[in-house]
Amino acid sequence: MHLRTPAIVLAVRAHGEHGAIVRALTPDDGVRPGYVRGGHGRTLRPVLQPANTILGEWRARTEDALPSLTVELIASRAALYAEPLAAAALDWATALTAAALPEAQPYPQVHAALAAVIDAVEAAPGARGWAVALVRYELLLLAELGFGLDLSECVATGATGDLAYVSPKSGGAVSRAAAVGYEARLLRCPPFLREGGAAEWDAILDGLALTGHFLERDLLHGRAADPLSARNRLVERMKRALS
């Protein structure tokens, strides 16, 4: 196996005294793991920061063997880790992607969307500049893995207007009229998820609560649930920034 392509670093785990096992998301070949000799050393550790873009070269004698991986830095996001909210966003987005996606299956839309989220954080480290993109990324990831929400019409009446809620069981939208008396049992659906555009903080937090429910229920089980702590830190930092 031989693959040479740009990739986004998702996760790095020390292996042995100086090596590291790296998982990175490629544009056309999905998540690819590889062993980086010296990856835990002083020289390569900054290159292998999650959210960095690298040029990776994977080589293995067989498809079943863990490939060796050599890396060159294309774009560093190290400066963003000095900003607590930006750092929390990058930690969560990369950890979620590493935990949710199976290896070696192409997800070009996910790669493009993750790159767009990282670019948004880089362009405007303040959360208002990227939080909407992050919620939409979570929604896309659910859809790409077969757990998409249906926000096109009311699951109860078929109405297509005033869809203010989502059923936590079916993932279908619910109109305001159909939700009367059941509001406390439903998840709020912020308008930006259907109409696009920017959003106020309360709508952003509603979006995070919505996608968080389905991520935890449908994708992040067992060991894959570990990244939820990174998401909790992100949401708490957002709330503190508002207070």
Choose the weakest-confidence range: 37-46, 93-102, 202-211, 217-226.
Answer: 217-226
Share of the chain above pLDDT 70, in %: 99
Q: CB–CB of 164/189 below 8 Å?
A: yes
Looking at residue 108, its pLDDT comes to 98
* pLDDT at residue 174 greater than cutoff 70: yes
Higher pLDDT pick, 33 / 125: 33
Looking at residue 243, its pLDDT comes to 64
Total count of residues recorded for the chain: 243
Distance CA 24, CA 3 (A): 12
pLDDT confidence band for 193 (50 / 70 / 90)? very high
CATH of domain 79-242: 1.20.1440.120
Q: What backbone torsions phi and psi does residue 173 show, to the nearest 5 degrees?
A: -70, 155
Which residue, among 109, 20, 59, has the nearest Cα to 11 in the 3D structure?
20
Give tens-digit pLDDT for 153-172.
Answer: 999 999 999 999 999 999 99
Looking at residue 237, its pLDDT comes to 87
Q: Whole-model pTM?
A: 0.94
* pLDDT at residue 99 greater than cutoff 70: yes
* pLDDT at residue 39 greater than cutoff 70: yes
Q: CB–CB of 3/58 below 8 Å?
A: yes
* pLDDT at residue 82 greater than cutoff 70: yes
* pLDDT at residue 233 greater than cutoff 80: yes
CATH of domain 2-76: 2.40.50.140
Average pLDDT over residues 168-195: 96
- Domains of the chain, residue spans: 2-76, 79-242
* pLDDT at residue 52 greater than cutoff 90: yes
Higher pLDDT pick, 125 / 36: 36
